[in-house]
Amino acid sequence: MPEPVFSRILLKLSGEVLANKHGFGIDPEKVLYLAREIEPVYKSNVNIGLIIGAGNIFRGMEASAGGMDRVTGDYLGMLATIMNAIALQDALEKIGCETRTLSAINVTQIAEPYIRRRAIRHMEKGRIVIIAGGTGNPFFTTDSAAALRANELGSEILLKGTKVDGVYDKDPYKYIDAKKYNELSYNKVIQDDLRVMDMTAITLCNENNIPIKVFNIKSSGDLIDIISGSNIGTTIGK
């Protein structure tokens, strides 16, 4: 295996990649697939921080649009990220990856509280750090949480694994003439409202010069190829 080009990464995964064939819930086979995609990165001694969304279980903004209080909906979404995190931790540990789950919301029976220095120490000891509970505050998405933690933990890149192989000028599932970008600037993403991540996440990465890589986590082997230096997906930077 080629020498990794990164020593510390923050991997953000969409909750939808865990969903069953009906588009919701947690599919054990998909959880195991994700664990096996992460395993070679772990074995290459790259420090891994990992955040997973909750779109397969609960979306606070959609609940708010349906009449639920926005703050209540966001807290339910944070709890759903903890469920996904514990499921992925279980799968990773079953294949031999040492893992710790740290949560911004206190659930001490199943996860440690998120403390920056503790998270860094776990990484230095070679453990995968799964960060759950978002930022611990309503009105912030898991994308924003990923950008925040990437900055806090000194990650060299923020990797966003989705069901699409990069960033397009319009929805590739709806338009056959959608154009894929290999590289983008933060400003282009903001100006064209490309909705790769929310504006808070893009701004945080822009201000602290952390590149973002958007790729298809469902394409087996792409994650370790990116870690090895392959130009896969779309890179967002200065």
- pLDDT, one tens digit per residue, over 53-67 is 998 887 656 666 678
Length of the chain in terms of residues written: 238
Instruction: Report pTM.
Output: 0.93
> What whole-number distance in Å separates Cα of residue 71 and Cα of residue 219?
35
Residue 18 lies in a domain: yes
Residues near 79 by Cβ (< 8 Å), separated by ≥ 6?
Answer: 58, 105, 133
- Tell me the CA distances in angstroms from 93 to 31, 42, 70, 100, one per residue in order: 12, 12, 35, 10
Q: What is the mean pLDDT of the chain?
A: 93
Residue 107 lies in a domain: yes
Where in the sequence is the domain holding 208, given as residue range(s)?
8-237
Lowest pLDDT segment from 22-31, 126-135, 214-223: 22-31
CA-based R_g, the chain, Å: 17
Residue 191 lies in a domain: yes
Contact between residue 213 and residue 159 where contact means Cβ atoms under 8 Å apart: yes
Beta bridge partners of 113: 103
CATH of the domain at 38: 3.40.1160.10
What pLDDT score does 60 carry? 56
Q: How many domains does the chain have?
A: 1
Residue 58 lies in a domain: yes
Residue 3 lies in a domain: no
What pLDDT band is residue 73 in, cutting at 50, 70 and 90?
Answer: confident
Residue 217 lies in a domain: yes
Residue 171 lies in a domain: yes
Beta bridge partners of 211: none
Does residue 211 sit in helix, strand or coil?
Answer: coil
Two structure tokens written together for 27: 């599919």
How much is the average pLDDT of 199-210? Answer: 94
- The kind and range of the H/E element at 75 are helix 70-94
